[in-house]
Structure 1
Amino acid sequence: MQKQELGFCGPGLMGAPMIRHLLGAGNTVHVWNRSPAKAEALVADGAQVAATPAEMAQHADVVLLCVADGAAVEQVVFGEHGLLAAAEGKDGQAVRVRRIVDHSSIPPELTRELAARASALGVGWVDAPVSGGVAGAQAGSLAVMAGGTAEDVAEVAPILAAYAARVTHMGGPGAGQTTKLCNQAIVTATVAAIAEAVGLARRSGIDAAKLPEALAGGWADSTLLRTFVPRMTQDGLVPIGALRTFQKDVDTVADAARQTGTPMPVAGAVQQILRLGAAMGLAEADLSGFVDVLQTPRHA
């Protein structure tokens, strides 16, 4: 892979290991985060901290984003000190960036709007949400589902190979985000089902922690089963995300289902479980917190 000068906005649980892989591949990486400490923590790995996204845009040819939601993406790119602020006449500095790769999970409709706005300024946009979680980011084995022009996806694919096992071009702008919604519909429904199974096992007097062993090799076996049963039956494990992230994604699934007239009754039930969890004060709980939402007291 040709070494490049890159930018990365959002070095969080997912972004930080992705940045380390980019640095390990020999790239120059400028990093920015709303809370500077997360960006500064990567200086020891060789990253260079940018004061603002606009400053980053003076140095990087390709900028990658991994931020919280659609509002954050829009602010980072088009805000007062955003990546394309100069291109829109809001900043006096030159813009070097030619492509933006958005790893955030945001609505497909918003992605298409932002991509069109960037294209009008001569900047390509690739929506590239990922699957594989923190473990996949650390291992460099993420699955990337990409939307954008074939040329833009082909240009950035060698960069993404630093932390992705594969990059699949799904179609035009927004197609990557729609694919991620399909992924999240499957993941959240499965994790909810695993939580129900753990609850049933416990109330039936069997050791729920042994479910992955008992179901190994059968149709119920999966990466999610092996990941989440331990998290639902053990204490003290490092969190891999918050339930509020699942809630955001499932709410977006519901919006897409409404816009396209797609019946999704299972996703609707999961949405209500997550809303109940938020009402119970579990929005910041680990993704395995489904089991806590469903553990209602047993009545005689």
Structure 2
Amino acid sequence: MIAFLGMGLLGSNFTRALLAKGNQVNVWNRTAARATALAADGAKPFENAADAVTGAEYVHIVVKDDAAVDAVLEQARAGFKPGTIIIDHTTTSTEGAIQRTKYWAEQGFAYLHAPVFMGPQNALESTGFMLVSGDQRLIQAVEVHLATMTGKLLNFGTEPGKAASMKLIGNNFLVAFTAGIADTLSLSRSLDVPFDDVISLFENWNPAGMVKGRIQRMASGSYSQPSWELNMARKDTGLFIKATEAAGMPQIIIPTIAKEMDKWIEKGHGADDWTIIGHDSIVNPKKK
């Protein structure tokens, strides 16, 4: 039997998918109505988290943050049986994942952090990506179970917090990527270019293939053989800003990037590759 704690968009669709595969699933949610709604799909709802996990081999949880994970698991622990495996899909801090792994081991239970790059539809269809790291014997023991829930299970090795770190890195990219799209669409509106034409551009010119090479170049710290000089990149950035300001269409991140470019140009790096703007944070970080 499986217990699932947290019936948000991901949790509810994970539950529906598990039920469709013939599993018995007990469910709990802080707002009880969300758990009760899953009864129509065959889940067994409970008002108390400890009752929901009683007898469960796997206890899955996906809630808001570190504090919520800790609070809900403490509520549920009275129902854990010997051998219960806790599988946490919540996006949390790396430190939190490490601390929970240690804490629950001391309590006699296995805890595995398994965050996901999956939307609600992915959870329902068992597609997308699930990340794990830590005790490889534990991962091997739950691999078949987790593989039924996702399109691809990514194992990042023996560090307990590595999966949490990789999830945060991925989400950081998604946030920056989305802000970049917003700025791009702001420019397209400023230039009276229909969004359909923007879509057509990216259907034919796909910059996704540049990501790996760009990361490698920026991580190397070598900028002396530019593919796009900083001076020229700054010139183009000025055109973006001029066009959007003239149209009254503010941008989110481009003005900040322009200021960082100016800083490096003032240092004498205008003829270097424009990726030098990330040097201090990537190659030469000033850690406390």
Taking structure 2 as the reference length, what is the TM-score of the superposition? 0.69
For residue 197 of structure 1, what is the aligned residue in structure 2?
Answer: 184
Alignment of 1:115-126 (within 5 A): 115-126=101-112
Give the equivalent residue in structure 1 for 2:212. Answer: none
Structure 2 residue corresponding to 1:69, chosen from 56, 65, 70: 65
Q: d(CA) in 2 for partners of 1:210 and 1:152?
A: 49
2:218 alignment partner in structure 1? none
The residue number in structure 2 matching 1:83 is: 76
Cα distance in 2 between the residues matched to 1:46 and 1:156: 24
Structure 1 unmatched ranges of 5 or more: 87-92, 223-261, 265-300
Contact 1:98–1:122 (8 Å) recurs in 2: no
Matched ranges for 1:1-300 at <5 A:
5-78=1-74, 82-84=75-77, 86=78, 95-96=81-82, 98-171=84-157, 172-220=159-207, 263=281
In 2, distance between residues paired with 1:22 and 1:196? 40
* Counterpart residue number, 1:272: none
Larger radius of gyration: 2
Could you tell me how far apart the structure 1 residues matched to 2:207 and 2:123 are? 25
Once the 2 structures are TM-superposed, how far is the Cα of residue 214 of structure 1 from its aligned partner? 2.2
Q: Verify the 8 A CA contact 1:11 1:39 in the aligned structure 2.
A: yes
Structure holding more helix per residue: 2
Q: Counterparts of 1:200 and 1:139 in 2: how far apart (Å)?
A: 36
Note if contact 2:156-2:162 (Cα within 8 Å) is conserved in structure 1. yes
**AA matched with 2:120:** V
Report if the CA contact (8 A) 1:130-1:145 is conserved: yes
Deviation by residue 1:194-230 (Cα, 9 ceiling, x = unmatched): 11100000000110243222211423369xxxxxxxx
Residue 159 of structure 1 and its aligned partner are, at CA, apart by 2.0
Give yes or no for contact 2:117–2:129 (8 Å, CA) kept in 1: yes
CA distance in 1, matches of 2:19, 2:60: 13
Task: Kindly provide the CA deviation profile for residues 111-170 of structure 1, in whole angstroms up to 9, marking residues without a partner as x.
Answer: 111111100122111111100322322322020011231122122222222330111111
Helix, strand or coil: the match of 2:281?
coil
Corresponding residue for residue 274 of structure 2: none
Contact 1:125–1:148 (CA<8 Å) still a contact in 2?
Answer: no
TM-aligned CA deviation for residue 51 of structure 1: 2.3
Say what the alpha-carbon RMSD is for the aligned residues.
2.0
Return 5+ residue gaps in structure 2 as ranges. 210-279, 283-288
- State the Cα distance separating 1:15 from its structure 2 match: 1.2
Identity of aligned residues (%): 27
**CA displacement, residues 229-282 of structure 1 (integer Å, 9 cap, x when unaligned):** xxxxxxxxxxxxxxxxxxxxxxxxxxxxxxxxx926xxxxxxxxxxxxxxxxxx
Paired AA for residue 23 in structure 1: L
Corresponding pairs, count: 212
Q: CA deviation at 1:58?
A: 1.7
Going from structure 1 to structure 2, the CA distance change for 1:211 and 1:97 (only over 3 Å counts) comes to farther
TM-score (norm 1): 0.66
Q: Is the 8 A contact 2:2 2:57 kept in 1?
A: yes
1:50 offset after TM fit, Å?
2.1
Judging changes above 3 Å, is the alpha-carbon distance between structure 1 residues 221 and 211 closer, same or farther for their aligned structure 2 residues? farther
1:59–1:96 contact (8 Å) kept in structure 2: no
Q: In 1, Cα distance between the equivalents of 2:23 and 2:17?
A: 9
